[in-house]
């Protein structure tokens, strides 16, 4: 057993790795594969885990198959029969658009004897980008950038994306009908809602154009004339859950944030550390989320159960950031800096906050780690932490402290992972 008093940072990294491993497609995908069909098997998909899912599928599939999946730059895996395309995330590019068009072409003109296997994971919404007719790609990208900076939730962002798309919000299922459709998904969203994961290309969409207009108004989003014209047309509505095309379609969640948090919990127990699960779907503005976690830490330390320390508080979910500055850093890194300020150097408390895909926002780090000395060390090198937060520059703070967590791509994605260790 590792000594929790001597190696808290190593323990936090082990917990993070346990969470990531629980969502490894090579381990979690094979039990969910369907039987090969009488006809053809077409594989399509999108997301940060799409290439590793395709690789796992090829190793486990007994019949013939062909297809194409699109993943983020740097996330490709070697496949023999399934074409892997890399494209931009979180702001779509032309390669993602071309891949989406090719995916639609692959599933068209199939019969009921054929099978479409759709491999979906977080990031699929940006990667599977094909604007509705009449909308230029740059118009949609511009709106997407505004959404990402607005502080909108992933659900709100995807609601807008679905109604501006030719492939999201059930439209991929519409193109594949009447083929048998089986979706294998890795969830990165609170509540594991299939219509939200990658903007639900293979499931009925419960959201409406009316909701899109409310989101546009709520965040004062700039929309072009073409987008406005499309939203005002009947073509903007997506196929709903009661549409007959979804009868017989299957949707299987092969990995979820809850399963990853549970894996980290089991790992903590094996190390002699008491796990405290705060939830796998905690969402909200990053500062408020950090203060909530700090409050739970203080409650645990002051409670009658404090004699049961060591313990670790575990949570998942997505923090949102309203980008106002020009600095570097994603939601996890910014959460960690807010948490360090909220804890104010509290003794014996260590924490890690990372994106399970290995990339926090657009930087190369998965997230960051804090220790009881984070604030003191920052002050010693003259860092103004409040100013850094105002400039959304949490990355440079942890870079200067050598406390960035850099794992490289993990080839999966079950949202953010947070662990706060009380030793």
DSSP letter at 3 equals -
Please name every residue paired with 314 in a beta bridge, in sequence order, or none if there are none.
Answer: 277, 419
Residue 342: the pLDDT is 97
Please name every residue paired with 279 in a beta bridge, in sequence order, or none if there are none.
Answer: 315
Domain spans in the chain, listed from the N-terminal domain onward? 8-20+258-422, 24-255
3 state SS for 150-208: HCCCHHHHHHHHHHCECCCCCHHHHHHCCCEEEEEEECCCHHHCCCCHHHCCCCCCCCC
Contacts of residue 363, Cβ cutoff 8 Å, sequence gap at least 6: 328, 329, 330, 333, 395
> Does 8-20+258-422 match 24-255 in CATH topology?
no
What's the pLDDT tens digit per position in 315-349?
A: 999 888 888 888 899 999 999 999 999 999 999 99
Of 64 and 304, the structure prediction assigns the larger pLDDT to: 64
pLDDT at residue 162 tops 70: yes
Q: Which among 124, 164, 163 is positioned nearest to 141, based on CA atoms?
A: 164
Q: Which among 178, 56, 77 is positioned nearest to 119, based on CA atoms?
A: 56
- For every residue of 368-413, DSSP letters joined together read EEE-TTHHHHHHHTT--HHHHHHTT-HHHHHHHTT-EE-----S--
Q: Which among 199, 229, 34 is positioned nearest to 100, based on CA atoms?
A: 199
Of 334 and 361, the structure prediction assigns the larger pLDDT to: 334
Taking the C-alpha atoms of residue 195 and residue 12, their distance in angstroms, rounded to an integer, is 33
What's the pLDDT tens digit per position in 238-293?
A: 999 999 999 999 999 999 999 999 999 999 999 999 999 999 999 889 999 999 99
Phi, psi of 125 (to 5 degrees): -65, -45
Inter-CA distances, 85 with 57, 117, 126, 316, 373, Å: 16, 17, 14, 29, 44
Identify the architecture of domain 8-20+258-422 in CATH: 3-Layer(aba) Sandwich (3.40)
Q: Average pLDDT of 379-394?
A: 94
Buried (b) or exposed (e) across 200-237, using 16+ Cβ within 10 A? bbbbbbbbebeebbebbeebebebeebbeebbeeeebe
Strands (E), 40-190: 41-46, 66-72, 82-87, 115-121, 180-186
Structural contact between residues 164 and 132, judged by C-beta atoms closer than 8 angstroms: yes
- How many CA within 13 A on the CB side of residue 77? 24
> Residue 37: which pLDDT band, with cuts at 50, 70 and 90?
very high
DSSP letter at 237 equals S
pLDDT at residue 4 tops 50: no
Taking the C-alpha atoms of residue 207 and residue 293, their distance in angstroms, rounded to an integer, is 32
Q: Average pLDDT of 11-40?
A: 97
Please name every residue paired with 123 in a beta bridge, in sequence order, or none if there are none.
Answer: none
Residue appearing with tokens 């658009």? 97
pLDDT at residue 5 tops 90: no
What's the pLDDT tens digit per position in 102-131?
A: 999 999 999 999 999 999 999 999 899 899
DSSP letter at 11 equals H
Identify the architecture of domain 24-255 in CATH: 3-Layer(aba) Sandwich (3.40)
Burial of 1 (0-12, 13-18, 19+ CB in 10 A): exposed
Taking the C-alpha atoms of residue 401 and residue 258, their distance in angstroms, rounded to an integer, is 31
């Amino acid at each position: 057993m590792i000594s929790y008093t001597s190696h808290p940072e190593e323990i936090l990294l082990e917990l993070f790795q346990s969470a990531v491993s629980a969502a490894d497609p090579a381990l979690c995908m094979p039990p969910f594969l369907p039987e090969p069909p009488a006809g053809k098997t077409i594989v399509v998909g999108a997301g940060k885990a799409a290439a590793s899912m395709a690789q796992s599928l090829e190793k486990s599939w007994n019949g013939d198959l062909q297809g194409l999946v699109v993943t983020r730059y740097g996330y490709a895996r070697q496949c023999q029969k399934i074409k892997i395309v890399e494209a931009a995330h979180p702001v779509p590019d032309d390669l993602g658009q071309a891949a989406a068009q090719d995916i639609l072409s692959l599933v068209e003109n199939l019969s009921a004897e054929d099978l479409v296997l759709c491999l979906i994971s977080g990031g699929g919404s940006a990667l599977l980008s094909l604007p509705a007719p009449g909308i230029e790609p740059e118009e949609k990208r511009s709106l997407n950038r505004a959404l990402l900076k607005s502080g909108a939730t992933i659900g709100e962002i995807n609601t807008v994306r679905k109604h501006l798309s030719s492939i999201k919000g059930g439209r991929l299922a519409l193109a594949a009908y009447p083929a048998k459709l089986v979706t294998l998904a890795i969830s990165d969203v609170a509540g594991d809602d299939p219509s939200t994961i990658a903007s639900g290309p293979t499931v009925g969409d419960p959201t409406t154009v009316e909701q899109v207009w409310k989101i546009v108004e709520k965040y004062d989003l700039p929309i072009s004339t073409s987008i406005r014209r499309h939203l005002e047309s009947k073509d903007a509505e997506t196929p709903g859950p009661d549409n007959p095309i979804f009868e017989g379609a299957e949707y299987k969640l092969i990995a979820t944030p809850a399963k990853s948090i549970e894996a980290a919990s089991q790992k903590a127990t094996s190390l002699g550390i008491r796990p405290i699960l705060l939830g796998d779907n905690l969402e909200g503005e990053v500062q408020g989320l950090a203060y909530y976690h700090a409050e739970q830490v203080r409650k645990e330390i002051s409670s009658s159960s404090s004699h049961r320390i060591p313990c670790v508080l575990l949570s998942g979910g997505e923090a949102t950031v309203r980008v106002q500055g020009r600095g570097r850093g994603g939601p996890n890194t910014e959460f960690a800096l807010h948490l360090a300020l909220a804890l104010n150097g509290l003794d014996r408390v260590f924490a890690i906050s990372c994106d399970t895909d290995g990339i926090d926002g657009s930087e190369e780090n998965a997230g960051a780690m804090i220790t009881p000395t984070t604030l003191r060390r920052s002050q010693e090198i003259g860092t103004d932490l409040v100013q850094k937060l105002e400039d959304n520059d949490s990355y440079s703070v942890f870079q200067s402290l050598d406390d960035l967590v850099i794992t490289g791509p993990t080839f999966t994605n079950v949202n953010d992972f947070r662990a706060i260790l009380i030793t």
